[in-house]
Structure 1
Amino acid sequence: MEDTLMRYRLRPSNRLVAALCGSMLFTTLLTAGPGATAARAADDPNTVALDKDAILAANQLDERQWYKDNIPFIDTPDNDIDDVYYYRWSTYKRALRYTVPGTGYVSTEYDVPIGYAGNPYTALPDAAGYHLLDGRWLRNRDYAGDYLDFWLRGAGNPGVRNFSEWITSAAYQRYLVTGDAGQIKSELPHLIALYKRWDSDFDTDITVNGTQSTSDLYHQSPLSDATEYTETSMHSSNWFSGGRGYRPTINAYMFAAAQAISKIATMTGDTATANDYDVKAAQLKAAVQNSLWDPQRNFFMQVYNTDGTNGALKQTRTTWRELMGYAPWAFNLPDARYSSAWKYLTDSQRFKAPFGPTTLERVHDFEAEQATRNHANLFSSSTASGGQYIGQIDFDDSYVTFNVDAPGAGTYPVTVYYANATSGTSTHRLIVNDDTAHPITVSYAPTGTWGKFSESQAVTVQVPLKAGANTLKFAKGTGFAELDRITANPYFNYQAIPASQRRDDANCCHWNGPSWPYQTSQVLTGLANLLQDYPAQSYVTKADYQTMLSQFAALQHKDGKPYIAEAANGDTGEWIYDGFNFSENYNHSSFNDLVLTGLLGIKPQADNTLVLKPLIPSSWDYFAVESLPYHGHTYSIRWDRDGTHYGKGSGLQVFQDGRRIHQSPTVGNTTVNVAAPVTPAQPARMMNVAANPLTAEQDWLGRTITQPYPKAFASYTNTVSNGPHCHSGQTCKPTTFDAPLRATDGWIRYDKIPDDRWTNSGSPNATDHLGVDFGAPRKINEVKFYTYDDGANIRVPASYTVQYLDNGSWVNVPNQTKSPAAPVANGANEVTFPTITTSQFRVVLTPQPGKFVGVTELESWYPEAPAVKIINKNSNLELGISGSSVNAGGTAQQQTADTTANHWWKIVPAENGYYKIFNTNSGQVLGIKDASRTAGAVALQWGDTLTPDHLWSVVDAGGGYCKLVNKNSGMVLGIRNMSTASGAPALQWDDNGTADHLWRIATDDGATPFNS
């Protein structure tokens, strides 16, 4: 089924042959049959080396046909990487959520609804870039395509700026895989509109450390950058979200967006726009390098802006390294001379940890030459960390005083780097916060030479600090010693790691130390770019990439099985933000794209080439990638050093659509010429008219349910609370999960923990049913349900049948064809039949003796309606949008007939028997300005914000005409002053019977009426 859900492509025609109003009921539009499936090369002996069924079985994946139809298959010598690769495709699949007709699929981060998403369907923009990058490798383009539309012009558009995002860059990277130039060019106006929405966060000529610059940069708060409780914010007055400033992340995202827009504009021939955004990208690059780069610490830092939470920190650059400083490399922003920052990634005193990099460096450097000193002298040395040190601290009044902040009172380690060329131990008196009565003795063993320093010449002492500012005065003790620097970071992991894991997520989320897959993915992307696209450097090697990716794979386990939650202790690998029935399988990072583009080095291109820059270990004798979609073709890439592993030839081989196009004896950087891109044939788009994700969200979050239809119902539902549900930072609460509405929430899962299903556990009935009430007549010709089978009491049913409500009576749907013939456990059961019209359907389930039944999702699919024209009876003009605008707020008006996409609309079923009317040119819905209920309010297009003014009834008016009645106002769509002039605006008005309130809905060739 999933392979047929390809994007519907509008192909307008000059001929309008079927009037669609004038019948009794208006349930849906019909299309021709499902059409041909997307073209793909059949596996043949020359191409195939992997047993896909065996791989899927070994990874214990449910619904295995989905993976065979969609994912690239890999095989490497690293079992951990392979296991996590297939597991992460399962987490990607489980996060796919079918929403409603006209919107289709989104990707979610969490397994459950969350209240702070700010967007419908639990969609969040912060990880959308990862979802698009991984999703671009799926054969079904709908999953990532729907999701991109959701953010650019759909229901997610109003909240697309709730968090920092790199959607534009990811959209272009997706194009490099699909090769669909028409699709990405059609998105250009929306990508530009998204870019401009960030203008309010853009400042010019920012001031850094007291000096005004010519740098123009974007600012963002750490929270809105998806990082609460950072050290940056802890230094401000708002620990949770404050510390707003000019960050390497948001500015790298905007740099990449500007570059992408410039490239797409070049494809369209819009030279002016291309040049404009090329300049924007260049200016952002210069600003990041000039103002966010700290030349002393060799790292990209934040600069605080003038936000009130920043106090005295305003317009200063931070002095501690956070992992986000590597973000610019994920988008190839920095010049090669900045590569020295990467030396800190492999430094165990900085970011290195056994299970992945920490989000904050473990210690900060406090240079002695920058401290306050008295009766001591400054010297230079090539071995000193900053090139300078303090010596001759030789007198009773000599001292060097450092200022160290702490987030809370406690005892913290402080490491002192020194030189002592005496023959014995020397000391300093460490006076903390002027407590001269209780000095700490710091002892320095001999080092042999004055003015020479190394990492081993260090001593660590435990120092009591108060919350806030502290002074650490090193005063003359016995003997003599020189100071290079001290290191400390009281903020590292402060309050970040719970003492014990209760799985209640109460400590979430602190990004001041824990290892975080979100940023680990970004760092790995940047590291791969550095190794693949930059000149050679001496700081990191491909062995470091291999090690870090292997660590990332090792981290993604729990109890010996692949697993991912929100964050972990980088030193132990324990998942620390792992709320029960909340954080599991957390879809907030990348892995598969890292394997494909980083480790295996598959670098998509805009031209007719495929570039390979693998980062695999030199010891690897083999690897394989099969069923790889690229530019509309199918590729296999296989390395077998001597041909003995796969037995299908030696060396590196590349196959295109089953034919070998490249062979070489070695594996390394390679450019392969490939066929020109093709767009696979697009079958009719299918829509699930049973889906109701909002009702499930409202129920889960304890909100008033405002969308009862389509409404799931059942003859019996488990009444026992069968587990807790948790939420970020909250205590878990007991919840019953088996409500019928859980089976129409758009998520398909087969978990043993009870979070997303209906069961009849405890039912005394011989049979039970689960069904959907549409709230109005709808046409259906396919029902699909996914059984839940726990292997114990909830088992696949012995049998089932599909029934529908016919004139008040339940009858079996005639001519049911079941696939498979017998019910299958933890998988899809599909029933097709000739089209029927009904307001309700149900699946009647007969359990196995002594067992019960469960369903994780119940669907009812039907072909999406073809695009139509909406023609006013009074003027015989067509409904369109002023200026063919793709922007929200474009005015609806009547226009002279033409064949442009602006005059084509899609009418799709919506909740409670209403419809949404989508403009095919803009992808936005027809609504009323300001959701007004006043007669005369103009009609316009808007992103689908789920407001009632976007809902319409299509009411038969006889004679082939209908009325479009707005749900919010109850008024009809008409034309101002009954005008017959082209350009007259459409508006809502009381239904007074005038001809301008009548519309003819007309389709292209071969369509059938709205209902017959």
Structure 2
Amino acid sequence: MRYQPRRGNRVAAALSSSILATALLVGGPGAGPAQAADDPNAVALDKDAILAANQLDEPQWYKDNIPFLDTPDNDIDDVYYYRWSTYKRALRYTVPGTGYVSTEYDVPIGYAGNPYTALPDATGYHLLDARWLRNRDYAGDYLDFWLRGAGNSGARNFSEWITSAAYQRFLVTGDAAEIKADLPHLIALYKKWDSNFTSDITVNGTQSSSDLYHQTPLSDATEYTETSMHSSNWFSGGPGYRPTINAYMFSAAQAISKIATMTGDSATATEYSDKAASLKAGVQNSLWDPQREFFMQVYNTNSTNGTLKQTRTTWREAMGFAPWAFNLPDAQYSSAWKYLTDPKRFGAAFGPTTLERVHDFEAEQAAVTHANTHSASTASNGKYVGQIDFDDSAVTFTVDAPGNGTYPVTVHYANGTTSTSTHTVVVNGDTANPVTVSYAPTGSWGSFSEAKSVTVQVPMKTGANTLKFTKGTGFAELDRIATNPYFNYEAIPAQQKRDDANCCHWNGPSWPFQTSQILTGMANLLQDYPAQSYVTKADYQSMLAQFADLQHKDGKPYIAEAANGDTGDWIYDGFNFSENYNHSSFNDLVLSGLLGIKPQANNTLVLKPLIPSGWDFFAVENVPYHGHTLSIRWDRDGSHYGKGSGLQIFQDGQRIHQSSTVGNTTVNVADPVTPAAQQRLMNVAANPLTAEQDWLGRTITQPYPKAFASYTNTVSNGPHCHSGQTCKPNTFDAPLRATDGWIRYDKIPDDRWTNSGSPNATDHLGVDFGAPRKINEVKFYTYDDGANIRVPASYTVQYLKDGAWVNVPSQTKSPATPRANNANEVTFPTITTSQFRVVFTPQAGKFVGVTELESWYPETPEVKIINKNSNLELGVAGSSIAPGGAVQQQTANTTANHRWKIVPAENGYYKIFNTNSGQVLGIKDASTTAGATALQWGDTLTADHLWSVVDAGGGYCKLVNKNSGMVLGIDGMSTSSGAQALQWGDTGTADHLWRIITDDGATPFNS
């Protein structure tokens, strides 16, 4: 493994009383309450020293958010903090009303299918890691994005386990009200998969009672698998009933059942508990191959599957471990794990392969001519073929190959003679060029082992190949042959050029996505299942260490898309594209797996650590749990931290547990505390959509807010090499990169504006809103490369007032002197302006850079929208959460269905979100016709979702649709509850007037 030198004094054992006094855990919006470390023994880690040693930019973010870790394994610690940085750099602020999403890549992706480069396939990992952050908004916003917001329509573009992860997040937050409010949306997401559901599937010619979900390998995030390559569509693959999607749906059904129980809805709880039980039975009865002891895909009847229709695959792929990541299989299926560490199967030095290196072709299942089948306890599958003694004796195997070439074939045999014997292998009937297999004596007949084998190279052609074993010299018995021509076929480039020309083949490479899933499953097997002999704690520790070791490049922590599991070299690592790939987990594996922190729905904390028995210490502090803050520390004899011996657990600075040993432990904790609601801020300068469209070469549809600058660097930052595609030769700094929602301080991928090369004494970077906006805070994040781009010497914030640029009055700067690679915040009394800018004075002979420029203002509180003509409130028919729910006027009540959030959008327009559904007010079919009805819809960024709020005087306003130019009114000027809202030409009638009012009686949009 790569050696990482131990950092000196990385975790000071004891903080001085002065440091301790300031070691309060202060969270941002969405964080739990600040908790003082009252017991002087509660804090043992010097967080500033840890952050400095890991060279993490913007250290305050980490202090406010992450659990701090210290273990004897330096690699694990280094990667742990690095992976928090990959999570942070993948956080993307989108727009007001949507907030934060987590992305996989650091750059826009054309195939995302959702705005803001959000993809559902790894969302489960993002939520599992983010549940350990003190700021709940990061995961909360992202969950809302999929359940209620702009991502809802694309939530099933790939297989996903969002519901399972949402429930696991609840176990950490303890916020029962939040997860219960999510229940209708989680059920709606579950039902989106109905089109992929099949009852009573047929497997290998036999109809079963199994009801399962089908998915293509590509939509399961695994293109170019062996399963794919046996179908007629190598890239997408033939659809089938897969262990992955069915495990995800099993866990979703379980979660929904548990949440429904919390709400008292026993009917729904039973319905989904039954669904989970049915899926479990289907996976175990139909996807489990009893001979190969593994979960496999069963192809469905799609035409791409040809003769494979309704058959079970015969090769093991890493997806077969997925069911354990969700505790699906019964204990009797645990034998699958014996293949994980086997170097002839999935075992590799830097993590498991995605496909087993070989699979077995049993001799007794081949075409046997003039030879006999026998039974033996040592034989694979319990049988072998002997008496291949005659000129016409033969055992003929059929082996598929993906292309013409020579492939290794291992023959497992017995030779009870005292001299070498041979078989002649005729490949595809080519008697002129046979392959000779020589068998050394094995000492006995009918006795087999892994060591009694020989490997030969066999030429094969594309498609089916016959390997006919016939008698040569002497005698030999055949147990099986083992080969897999598909393993790593076309998967690993001969030379890594960082253009990802071979990406993305999941037929052999080690893939962090599946490694994370396998480690989660292995932890569950070790923590939650009866003892078994196939994998041990040592195996978990070894594989987690391998995973940490893999996540390096040039001696520093690093992760890209996939690696060669045997060498640790990153093979899918596109330049300015794949760096810091946020598509797997690591930190949740450390916290819930290695340290064994198992959150519970009740007022307990369960520890089931998988740490090495030789560890004398570890500590994790600032762990959010049920609205409290936990610290967990193991110090065998008390000498490492000097804060007491044994295992100690602290809650909100008070010790609640101490024991002399570390092992499975259940600790009572305090009742959950829900953080007090805080008014959130919204960044009205963000414009990620324009940044995406620019990056992808698409038409710009949302020009405002528009970033501008007095001068921008004109030199290319190098190519952009998208996976599997031709490199884009040049990328450039641009003002819009500073409003794309990502905050990063890396040179690559490039995500910044700089004025490098500017002849000006000062330069500015600013934002044009396209219409007046209120702001009272500007924040920018300096980009400083330590060379020519340096933190500015000074700066000031200006705004456009009456056509002239003037300094914003009463600016309060924090810090007073600009900070490099960090946030610089300016607050001031509220101003209204259409443009602002930051004017920078560079250091002498240097230039300035900004990775993100933001302007913030408090979000408008939820409002009711009341029609003047009827005095009834705007709501959604039946309190529907479904897209297309009719918007109507209703009798006043206190339900969330009558509450709306009006948030700034592009070009001076607003979006109007229903609190109950999370969807936006729009017009049916985006019609421009008078009388078209109003409805709610997921935010698909269409113009009919945009509204002008026009003050009409007297405490009323008009809501004018951008797409049609028409106003929102009520059908027939009705005063009846339930009358439909619609758009109409502005005729000046009272039903076109609306009073927008907050709970405290304020009218934020009316004079």
Distance 2:530 2:415 in 1: 40
What's 1:689 paired with? 684
The answer to whether 1:485 aligns with 2:508 is: no
What is the match of residue 557 of structure 1? 552
Match of 1:281 among 268, 276, 280: 276
Match of 2:183 in 1: 188
User: 2:533 is aligned with what amino acid?
Assistant: S
Task: Note the C-alpha offset of 1:724.
Answer: 1.1
Look up the equivalent residue of 1:557 and give its one-letter code.
H
Residue pair 2:38, 2:654 contacting (<8 A) in 1 also:
no
1:249 corresponds to 2:244: yes
1:722–1:754 Cα contact (<8 Å) kept: no
1:919 and 2:914 aligned = yes
**Greater Cα offset, 971-980 or 1000-1009:** 1000-1009
Distance 1:924 1:345, change over 3 A: same
Normalised to the residue count of structure 2, the TM-score between the two structures is: 0.97
User: Matches of 2:503 and 2:39 in 1, distance apart?
Assistant: 50
Q: How does 1:780-795 map to 2 (within 5 A)?
A: 780-795=775-790
For residue 380 of structure 2, give the secondary structure of its aligned residue in structure 1. Answer: coil
Question: Which of 46, 55, 73 is the matching residue for 1:60?
Answer: 55
Map 1:742-821 → 2, pairs under 5 A: 742-753=737-748, 755-821=750-816
Quote the residue 2:446 is aligned against: 451
Find the residue that maps to 1:832 and give its secondary structure: strand
CA distance in 2, matches of 1:39, 1:148: 25
Tell me the equivalent position of 1:129: 124
Q: Which amino acid aligns with 1:983?
A: G
Which residue number in structure 2 is paired with residue 221 of structure 1? 216
Instruction: Tell me which amino acid in the other structure corresponds to 1:296.
Output: Q
In the other structure, the counterpart of 1:978 is 973
Report how far residue 891 of structure 1 moved. Answer: 0.7
Letter in 2 for 1:649: G
Q: Deviations over 1:17-57 (max 9, x none)?
A: xxxxxxxxxxxxxxxxxxx9843344752210000000000
| 2: CA distance, partners of 1:830 / 1:357 | 45
Counterpart CA distance in 1 for 2:70 and 2:177 is: 34
Stretches of structure 1 that go unaligned for 5 or more consecutive residues are 8-35
Cα separation, 2, equivalents of 1:1007 and 1:64:
39
Count of residue pairs the alignment pairs up: 983
Aligned to 1:13: none
SS in 1 for 2:381: coil
Shift of 1:3: 6.8
Residue 572 of structure 2 corresponds to which residue in structure 1? 577
Structure 2 residue matching 1:504: 3-state secondary structure: coil
Identity score, percent: 86
Cα deviation 1:922-950 (Å, max 9, x = unaligned): 11111111111111111111111111111
SS of the residue 1:452 aligns to: coil
**Alpha carbons 2:425, 2:469 under 8 Å: kept:** yes
Report if aligned partners of 2:946, 2:961 keep a CA contact under 8 Å in 1: yes
Aligned residue type for 2:439: Y
- Structure 2 residue 759 is matched with structure 1 residue 736: no
Quick one: which of 608, 616, 634 aligns to 2:629? Answer: 634
CA distance in 1, matches of 2:835, 2:447: 83
* Alignment correspondent of 2:64: 69
Alignment correspondent of 2:149: 154
Q: Which amino acid aligns with 1:265?
A: A
Quick check: 2:995–2:1006 contact (8 Å CA) kept in 1?
Answer: no
- The answer to whether the 8 Å contact 1:41/1:633 transfers is no
Whichever residue aligns with residue 280 of structure 1, its letter is K
Distance 1:1006 1:876, change over 3 A: closer
- In structure 2, the partner of 1:24 is none
Residue aligned with 1:198, SS: helix
Aligned counterpart in structure 2 of residue 936 of structure 1, from 931, 945, 961: 931
TM-score normalised by length of structure 1: 0.96
Which structure would you say has the larger RCO, counting Cα contacts within 8 Å and 6 or more residues apart?
1
Superposed, 1:883-898 pairs within 5 Å as: 883-898=878-893
Q: Distance in 2 between matches of 1:467 and 1:809?
A: 72
Residue 147 of structure 1: SS of its match in structure 2? helix
Residue 725 of structure 1: CA displacement? 1.1
- Using the TM superposition, give the Cα deviation of residue 95 of structure 1 relative to its aligned residue in structure 2, in angstroms: 0.2
Per the alignment, residue 660 of structure 2 pairs with 665
In 2, the alpha carbon distance for the partners of 1:646 and 1:956 equals: 64
User: What runs of 5+ residues in structure 2 fail to find an aligned partner?
Assistant: 1-24
Residue of structure 1 in register with 2:8 after alignment: none
SS of residue paired to 1:525: helix
CA contact (8 A) 2:860 2:902 kept: yes
Partners of 1:138 and 1:792 lie apart in 2 by 34
Equivalent residues of 2:96, 2:682 under 8 A apart: yes
CA–CA separation in structure 1 for the residues paired with 2:39 and 2:927: 61
* CA distance in structure 1 between the partners assigned to 2:794 and 2:325 by the alignment: 52
CA distance in 1, matches of 2:74, 2:877: 57
Deviations 1:286-309 (A, max 9, x none): 000000000000000000001111
Aligned partner of 2:18 in structure 1 is none
Distance 1:880 1:708 in 2: 32
Give the one of 419, 423, 427 matched to 1:424. Answer: 419
SS in 2 for 1:735: strand
Q: Are 1:412 and 2:435 matched, yes or no?
A: no
- The answer to whether the 8 Å contact 1:258/1:280 transfers is yes
2:468 to 467, 470, 473: 473
1:86-97 equivalences in 2 (<5 Å): 86-97=81-92
In the TM superposition, residue 1009 of structure 1 has moved relative to its aligned partner by 3.2
Secondary structure of residue in 2 paired with 1:811: strand
Match of 1:722 among 714, 717, 721: 717
Match of 2:702 among 685, 691, 707: 707
- Matched with 2:19 is none
Contact between 1:866 and 1:1007, CA under 8 Å: does it hold in 2? no
Q: Which residue of 2 aligns with 1:833?
A: 828
Q: Deviations over 1:971-1007 (max 9, x none)?
A: 1100001000000010111111111111111112164
Say if 2:838 is the partner of 1:843.
yes
Counterparts of 1:38-49 in structure 2, within 5 Å, are: 38-42=33-37, 45-49=40-44
In the TM superposition, what are the counterparts of 1:514-533 in structure 2 within 5 Å? 514-533=509-528
Tell me which residue corresponds to 1:27: none
* Paired residues of 2:792 and 2:840 also in contact (CA < 8 A): yes
SS of 1:463 mapped into structure 2: strand
Letter aligned with residue 392 of structure 1: Q
Distance 1:132 1:869 in 2: 32
1:880-918 CA deviation, whole Å, 9 max, x = no partner?
Answer: 111111121111100111111111111000011100001
> Equivalent residue of 2:545, what SS?
helix
Deviations 1:578-616 (A, max 9, x none): 001100000000000000000000000000000000000
| Distance in 2 between residues matched to 1:110 and 1:723, nearest whole Å | 18
| Cα pair 1:126 1:164 within 8 Å, conserved | yes
Distance of 2:733 and 2:431 partners within structure 1: 66
Equivalent position amino acid for 1:168 in 2? T
SS of residue paired to 1:930: helix
Bigger Cα displacement from structure 2, 731-740 vs 799-808:
731-740
Cα-Cα RMSD: 1.1
Q: Secondary structure at the match of 1:386?
A: helix
Separation of aligned partners in 1, 2:32 and 2:172:
20
Amino acid corresponding to residue 933 of structure 2 in structure 1: V
2:523 is matched by which residue type in structure 1?
A
Provide the residue aligned with 1:6 in structure 2.
Answer: 29
Q: C-alpha separation between the residues in 1 aligned to 2:513 and 2:731?
A: 31
Whether the aligned pair in 2 keeps the contact of 1:723 and 1:754 (CA below 8 Å) is no
Describe the SS at the equivalent of 1:197. Answer: helix
Structure-1 residue corresponding to 2:16? none
Deviation of 1:680 (Å): 1.4
Deviates more, 1:752-761 or 1:547-556: 752-761
> How big is each residue's C-alpha offset from its partner over 1:706-761, in whole Å with a ceiling of 9 and x where there is no partner?
10100000001111222111212112223232110000000000012361000001
CA contact (8 A) 1:737 1:756 kept: no
Structure 2 Cα separation of the partners of residues 123 and 42 of structure 1: 38
Q: In the alignment, what sits opposite 1:622?
A: 617
Match of 2:527, SS? helix
Pairs within 5 Å for 1:66-465: 66-465=61-460
